[in-house]
Structure 1
């Protein structure tokens, strides 16, 4: 399993399929995620800067974040 560093330029990643939320709006205010090959993690990038850097997280880190968001752990950030 290859390790990818945080802040890696997107053009240094292997070809991946980027996905963004259905809640994204036309002005591009969203992040995009992609599963990296061989279970190397999940890459996250800013949809307004698709050639910019990507942050890379383990599957466990993404799972903890998503479950926390579902539980409302970050609702205070929108207040």
Structure 2
């Protein structure tokens, strides 16, 4: 039976996944980390709360978000 992942699940329950963060992340833990899951989905967590909730996205959802970020669609949230 395939493992079921759900949004908001404790990241600690995702044992064995390889979390990684951007090289642009600061040394103070101000980063978002991502991990590919066996299901093909992608988990996202806040590095300051490694055991906290993880959000789980499909590959299509993550691809749409990354395409928008690359196009600058979300630049306004930092202004």
TM-score, scaled to structure 1: 0.91
List aligned pairs for 1:30-69, cutoff 5 A.
Answer: 30-39=31-40, 41-69=41-69
Structure 1: gaps spanning 5 or more residues: none
Give the alignment's Cα RMSD to 1 decimal.
Answer: 1.1
SS of the residue corresponding to residue 37 of structure 1 reads: coil
Would the aligned equivalents of 2:7 and 2:54 in 1 still touch at CA under 8 Å? Answer: yes
Structure 2: gaps spanning 5 or more residues: none
Aligned to 2:21: 20
Deviations 1:37-62 (A, max 9, x none): 131x0000000011111000001101
Aligned to 2:5: 4
